[in-house]
Structure 1
Amino acid sequence: MQSTLEIVSRIAKGDSTVLITGESGVGKELMARAIHDQSVRATRPFVAVNCGALTETLLESELFGHAKGSFTGADKDRPGLFEAAIGGILFLDEIGEVPPGMQVKLLRALQEREVRRVGENRFRPTDVRIVAATNRNLTDEIAAGRFRQDLYYRLRVIELHVPPLRERHEDILPLAMLFLNKLAGNRECPITGFTQDALDLLLRYNWPGNVRELQSAVEHAVTMCRDGLIDYSDLPGELRAMLLKPAPVVVDDIRPLEEVERDYIQGVLLAVGGNKVLAAKKLNIGIATLYRKIRRNNHHAFCQSEVKCLEPANKIS
């Protein structure tokens, strides 16, 4: 995931429209906020809206604003989110849920960089950077006639794909600490981190609910924790149940045992901050054995890269 974070840093320096894709709960809004916080617009507003939570009429009023008397209940002029986000970033979450009629109006607002409030005749200029997100495959939606291709290309000037958390184990502990620092700041008894058993459990869990589930698990643990460190017993039951379950039977995509061992050792080293003595203790092996495994794995990775380099460029099959 380090490469994704580096991409975020590069994206933040520009001003192009960004489309963030990935499964539900992978942290697309976190990425959008990271783009905002590292950009020249960081001191200006970050405004987010869930496009899938509103009807077409409400979404138009929410984004573009409305004039007094334009519809029942419109008792005063109201600016929309485009105007509220001027100078900053407008985050359009669940962009794939926008109805076709609204897609046309949104496309015009992006192209012309101006909006017209509902019930008004004049256009108002806007200076916002658009970051959109979806868990849908928009190319499939285009093929099905549910999403405009021209809007897709207008939004996807830069695409940032966020992999699921199960594919980015190196992010689990930094994210867990990020959520802990946010949640535990107001406690009388400060929580400074996690026990090693809790860290091991966080790394072993598959996180089907992605970053959203991790945040919820840390919040649960903060509530249950009675000491200065979160222990595995403070974590939600579905995580602790892993300790009681036998290892699942793998029927597809069987990985070599050597590769699984290499990944696990790397995860343990990350969890203990690179302390090889502590890692060997946790793995219940001697320090010499750990060094031998590290050397073997590094040599294997080198050999693999050498094999790829030696393969013919135009191999005939």
Structure 2
Amino acid sequence: MQQSRNPAYLRLFECGELINKINKAKEHLTECRLCPHECGVDRTEQSGFCRAGDKAVVASYGSHFGEEAPLVGRNGSGTIFFGYCNMRCVFCQNYELSHGGEGEAVTNEELAQIMLILQNNYKCHNINLVTPTHFVPNILEALYIAVQKGFNLPIVYNCGGYESIETLKLLDGIVDIYMPDFKYHTDERGIKYFRVRDYPKYVKNALKEMDRQVGGLKVDDMGVACRGLLIRHLVMPGGLEDTREILKFIKEELAPDCLVNLMDQYRPHYHAYKYKEIARRLTMQEYREALVYAKKLGLRLV
């Protein structure tokens, strides 16, 4: 489906609602409940589960061509990689960033300038916020600053899926494209591999809220995504039962035109070697079975 590229947040900026969202989001910096951990810490003085303080940490930014084709277009996706994460995936390939917080603390004005550089210098099609949950207050204020200087790219919320409904509602009208992960379908595996409680429950609720806000993926007349939901599912070794349940949930509970990326890129990084069942790569047969099931359901695949 084709749609205009005008980002939703411009309307909120014009009517003053963006300021209200910023003020509400900033309350979390002194009693943080941005994600399901609900640590309640004052991030100006200490850190919670994610280890983030009150300033955004940026590890890198630039035009990225390794994302899904509807995000990349001709000029790439304007990716901003944030440090820290609200999950502790034992097989994380970017553990230096997510666990160690590698990167540089930036002011909201500096973050706004990065957005403008990606738009004006790199000519990117969107701003792709990677692992953004714990820095939502900073992102919203940076967006407000950037819009005053002519920023108008769609916002991609590229997250692990372990999200708070309250935070997602703050992002309603801000985010144009949601791109969550959904890896496992059991509480036990969420605790074992991600160190988070009630993983499937929170991800399912989050995906439903994202779907309510933006619906299926829409593209402009150049075929570049401008609004909607794109779900990533990394097929895990020995995880076909989880894959089937996740794909069935997407089919039954979400918009029929949401886009699904069934990924086969799993590698046993970081501490994966400590867990025999995931200390190997995915087999071609496992991925083939997952793909056959997804096609049988009639899902819209990347």
> Please, what TM-score do these two structures have when normalized by structure 1?
0.26
Greater share of strand residues, 1 or 2? Answer: 2
Greater share of helix residues, 1 or 2? Answer: 1
